[in-house]
C-alpha cells in the first residue's frame, strides 16, 4: 500500500487528508493531517491518524483546535 501525494482539503479549516491505495490503485483508507503555525511562526504539519483507526470529524476538529491554541500560547 502507498499514500498518494496530493493533499485534499476537508470542510474544516487546516485539516487535510491523503488517500491510501493498494496495489490495484483502489482507495482503501485516508490519512488525516493538520496544518498549523508554531510559536516562532513556521508552518508545521502533523499527522492525526487514519480513518480506519477511528479518526472522525470530532477528533479532527479537537486536534486542530488544540494545535492552534497551543501555538498561540507563549
CA distance linking residue 73 with residue 22, whole number of Å: 41
pLDDT of the residue at 74? 45
Angle at 62 between CA 55 and CA 38, to 5 degrees: 110
pLDDT digits (tens, 9 = 90+) for 18-58: 998 888 889 899 998 888 887 788 888 888 889 888 887 77
Pure H helices in 1-74: 57-72
Residue with cell 502533523: 46
For the whole model, what pTM was predicted? 0.72
Rounded Cα distance, 71 and 52, in Å: 28
Q: For residue 1, what pLDDT is reported? A: 66
- Asked if 55 and 48 touch (Cβ cutoff 8 Å), the reply is yes
What residue spans define the domains of the chain? 2-72
Amino acid at each position: 500500500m502507498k499514500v498518494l501525494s496530493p493533499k485534499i482539503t476537508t470542510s474544516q479549516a487546516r485539516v487535510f487528508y491523503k488517500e491510501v491505495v493498494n496495489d490495484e490503485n483502489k482507495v482503501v483508507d485516508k490519512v488525516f493531517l493538520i496544518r498549523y503555525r508554531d510559536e516562532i511562526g513556521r508552518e508545521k504539519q502533523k499527522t492525526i491518524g487514519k480513518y480506519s483507526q477511528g479518526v472522525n470529524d470530532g477528533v479532527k476538529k479537537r486536534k486542530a483546535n488544540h494545535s492552534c491554541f497551543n501555538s498561540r500560547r507563549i
